[in-house]
């Protein structure tokens, strides 16, 4: 049964995309929903929304403040210079910088010049950079000084331009303009390649996920449509926002969460972006107070640190109206705490992947409070979800299988990896996510972990996330990761790695778990660790946990 908020959302959405609505929906050649009255390419996207929101402060970075008009003017100038340098349509241009105004202007300019913006992971070291560069073979790499040094230590053969990004934008971009005569920009189409992002590589070498302009813009419009729909609800209830939208940029632009729902979506809704150079809880609270931040998105550990910081009461964080998690699932216990600690802010959760340009599901407001373990419903009208069983058969509600996503926002494939592309997609455009989940009768999806994390013990399927969520309800346990370890009798057994305030009492933990879990799901052992190995975006790197037998 649909919740009251679901009914309101569906009614408001019908007004947004129905006759006379602000977004007109059509379909591509595979029958997937697209917006037909909005720019289908990123160059046109930037021109349109920078004109619409021209006087809005787009970027705040330290003392530097730039409007959308100024961003687009710089991007046009730089795009002409890139073409003058010899960048032609389809050339890859690597971007390797921390978040800064130059990053965004270079990104815009590459796309306007017809290039493929290749978003290199800013945390990669020389060997990882060598892999990404050898795979994509960029014609030009634009980097800040620290990352340029790493690239020089890698097996790079591309032209490398280092930018002094700590300086004002004009000075930061100067090395890209020196002695270059601007040239006319090419025509870009919706089906031209636009971006290459890299998969996390938490279990192996990163793959290059290639998106067309249509895919990226569709991903943005999926998020913008959801926000327009929610605004319609608030307006009808006389609760429309009174402060201008402003977000804290605490996740990297090179990650799909930072690129699509945060950065590009800000162009559509005229949202200011306040850049943090690196995550620091106190700095974040200072910026939230000073800049009147309304929207916060980060990995779940970031919002947890905001809740736990002993000096939190010294800062006015009341401007926050939305606190969203992305990049990794948020434990159910955190949802309850967010409601208590930030009563003026609505918690939300998004589910998407690099390969879907971040679209998938969303759970928000009272729906999230009522169903905190769910990742929500599919994002209509742009996204279809299904649960696949054997042979890609679609399973009915209540049956567990692999989550699949179909959308015009899906990538077209993996760069120079046709085998991985064929394995990931069905012929009719469904992307197999590798996530195990179940759909409820009212259309809510709950994830149970990665297919690769599944533990098969004595013939029973064990999903680590279920055990981890239960462990986190035990007082004193702050983080938990459950992995399968070899066992001579059962094949595998679950073992839990815990970050805890106190020494572990296995008997007490087992007793607590048995009240909620079947006996075969009870971990065979517990290992206390100082911290869980995570990617920079919060995902647990299970393969880096120490072997249980070695303890």
Distance (Å) of CA 306 to CA 60, 281, 282, 309, 328:
21, 6, 8, 6, 17
pLDDT, tens only, 432-477: 999 989 999 999 999 887 888 888 887 777 888 889 989 999 999 9
Query: For 43-88, how does the pLDDT look when each residue is reduced to its tens digit (9 = 90+)?
Result: 999 999 999 999 999 999 999 999 999 999 999 999 999 999 999 9
Measure the CA–CA gap between 91 and 79, rounded to whole angstroms. Answer: 13
Q: How many CB atoms lie within 10 A of CB 399?
A: 11
Tokens representing residue 339 in the block: 């409601």
- pLDDT on residue 331: 73
Structure tokens at 228: 């327009």
**CA–CA separation, 282 and 268 (whole Å):** 30
Reported as a single tens digit per residue, the pLDDT across 78-131 is: 999 999 999 999 999 999 999 999 999 999 999 999 999 999 999 888 888 999
Per-residue CA distances from 351 to 33, 124, 142, 358, 385 (Å): 19, 24, 31, 7, 12
pLDDT tens digit string along 162-171? 999 999 999 9
pLDDT at 520 over 70: yes
Say what the pLDDT of residue 200 is.
67
Chain segment 490-517, per-residue pLDDT in tens: 778 999 999 998 888 999 999 999 988 8
Q: Which tokens belong to 349?
A: 């959760």
Superfamily of domain 454-550: ANL, C-terminal domain (3.30.300.30)
b/e per residue 48-76 (b: at least 16 CB within 10 A) = ebbeebbebbbbbbeeeebbbebbbebbb
Q: Can you say how many angstroms the Cα of residue 318 is from the centroid of all Cα atoms in its chain?
A: 25
Neighbouring C-beta atoms of residue 369, cutoff 10 Å: 16
Distances (CA, A) of 312 to 82, 235, 291, 330: 46, 31, 16, 21
Question: According to the model, what pLDDT value does residue 179 have?
Answer: 85
Output the CATH code of domain 4-38+213-386+433-449.
3.40.50.12780
State the average pLDDT for the chain.
Answer: 92
Q: 275-282 contacts: CB < 8 A, separation 24 or more? A: 275/59, 275/60, 275/61, 275/99, 275/100, 275/101, 275/249, 276/99, 276/248, 276/249, 276/250, 277/98, 277/99, 277/100, 278/98, 279/250, 281/305, 281/306, 281/309, 282/309, 282/311
- Cα–Cα distance, 526 to 532 (Å, whole number): 13
pTM of the prediction?
Answer: 0.88
Q: d(Cα 209, Cα 301) in Å, to the nearest integer?
A: 26
**Are the C-beta atoms of residues 433 and 199 closer than 8 Å to each other?**
no
Task: Please tell me the predicted confidence (pLDDT) of residue 202.
Answer: 46
Please give the pLDDT value at position 550. Answer: 43
Domain ranges of the chain: 4-38+213-386+433-449, 454-550
**DSSP H or E segment with residue 377:** strand 377-378
d(Cα 459, Cα 198) in Å, to the nearest integer? 35
Contact 338, 314 (CB under 8 A): no
* Residues 140, 158 contacting (CB under 8 angstroms): yes
Is residue 551 scored above 60 in pLDDT? no
Q: Is 459 buried (19+), middle (13-18) or exposed (0-12) by CB count in 10 A?
A: exposed
Q: What is the pLDDT of residue 527?
A: 92
Q: What percent of the chain has pLDDT above 90?
A: 73
């Amino acid at each position: 049964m649909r919740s009251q908020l679901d009914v309101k959302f569906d009614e408001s959405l019908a007004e947004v995309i129905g006759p006379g609505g602000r977004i007109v929906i059509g379909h591509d050649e595979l029958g997937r929903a697209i917006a037909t009255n909005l720019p289908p390419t990123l160059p046109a996207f930037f021109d349109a929304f920078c004109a619409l929101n021209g006087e809005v402060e787009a970027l705040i970075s330290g003392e530097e403040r730039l409007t959308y008009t100024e961003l687009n003017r710089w991007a046009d100038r730089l795009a002409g210079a890139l073409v003058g340098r010899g960048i032609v349509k389809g050339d890859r241009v690597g971007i390797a910088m921390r978040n800064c105004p130059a990053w965004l202007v270079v990104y815009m300019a590459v796309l306007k010049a017809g290039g493929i913006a290749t978003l290199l992971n800013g945390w990669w070291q020389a060997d990882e950079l060598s892999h990404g560069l050898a795979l994509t073979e960029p014609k030009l790499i634009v980097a800040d000084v620290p990352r340029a040094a790493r690239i020089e230590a890698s097996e790079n053969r591309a032209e490398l331009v280092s930018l002094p990004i700590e300086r004002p934008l004009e000075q930061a971009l100067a090395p890209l303009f020196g002695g270059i005569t601007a040239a006319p920009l090419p025509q870009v189409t919706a089906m031209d390649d636009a971006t290459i992002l890299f998969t996390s590589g938490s279990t192996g070498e990163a793959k290059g996920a290639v998106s067309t302009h249509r895919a990226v813009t569709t991903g943005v419009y999926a998020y913008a449509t959801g926000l327009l729909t929610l605004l319609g609800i608030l307006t009808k209830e006389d609760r429309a926002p009174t402060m201008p939208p402003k977000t804290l940029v605490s996740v990297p632009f090179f990650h799909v969460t930072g690129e699509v729902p945060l950065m590009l979506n800000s162009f559509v809704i005229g949202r200011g972006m306040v850049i943090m150079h690196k995550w620091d809880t106190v700095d974040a609270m200072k910026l939230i107070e000073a800049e009147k931040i309304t929207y916060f998105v980060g990995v779940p550990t970031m919002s947890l640190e905001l809740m736990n910081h002993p000096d939190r009461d010294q800062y006015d964080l009341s401007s926050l109206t939305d606190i969203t998690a992305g990049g990794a699932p948020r434990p159910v216990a955190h949802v309850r705490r967010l409601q208590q600690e930030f009563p003026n802010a609505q918690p939300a959760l998004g589910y998407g992947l690099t390969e879907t340009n971040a679209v998938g599901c969303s759970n928000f407001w009272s729906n999230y409070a009522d169903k905190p373990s769910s990742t929500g419903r599919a994002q209509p009208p742009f996204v279809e979800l299904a649960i696949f069983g054997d042979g890609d058969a679609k399973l009915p509600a209540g049956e567990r299988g692999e989550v699949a996503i179909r959308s015009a926002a899906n990538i077209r494939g993996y760069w120079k990896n046709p085998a991985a592309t064929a394995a990931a997609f069905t012929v009719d455009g469904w992307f197999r996510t590798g996530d195990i989940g179940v759909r409820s009768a009212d259309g809510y999806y709950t994830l149970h972990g990665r297919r690769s994390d599944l533990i098969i013990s004595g013939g029973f399927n064990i999903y680590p996330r279920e055990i981890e969520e239960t462990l986190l309800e035990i007082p004193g346990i702050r983080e938990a990761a459950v992995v399968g370890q070899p066992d001579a009798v059962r094949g595998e057994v679950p073992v839990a790695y815990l970050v805890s305030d106190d020494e572990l009492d296995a008997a007490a933990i087992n007793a607590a778990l048995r009240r909620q879990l079947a006996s075969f799901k009870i971990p065979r052992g517990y290992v206390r660790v100082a911290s869980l190995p995570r990617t920079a975006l919060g995902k647990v790197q299970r393969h880096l946990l120490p072997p249980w037998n070695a303890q």
